[in-house]
Amino acid sequence: MFLQIDDVVINTDKIRLIRINDKANHVMIYFDENHSKKVSFPHAEDMDRFLTEIGRKDFSA
């Protein structure tokens, strides 16, 4: 599945690891050991919506 966040398109099938920084409203998405992408969100609700969309909603602030 492809998701677009602002000007970034993410192939969710290639995601290997997601590190969530809920205090700063961003996630670091790792595709492999050489490729990663930091995605920032203006609000915690936006990050929650993204995590819900990819099936990873359980996190606490």
The 3-state secondary structure of 25-59, one letter per residue:
CEEEEEEECCEEEEEECCCHHHHHHHHHHCCCCCC
The DSSP bridge pattern shows strands 8-11 and 17-21 to be unpaired
Tell me, what's the pLDDT at 34?
94
- Per-domain boundaries in the chain: 2-53
Q: What is the pLDDT of residues 8-43, one digit of tens each?
A: 888 889 999 999 998 999 999 999 999 999 999 999
More confident call, 27 vs 58: 27
List b or e across 12-45, with b for residues whose CB sees 16 or more CB atoms inside 10 angstroms. Answer: eeeeeebeeeeeebebebeeeeeeeeebebeeee
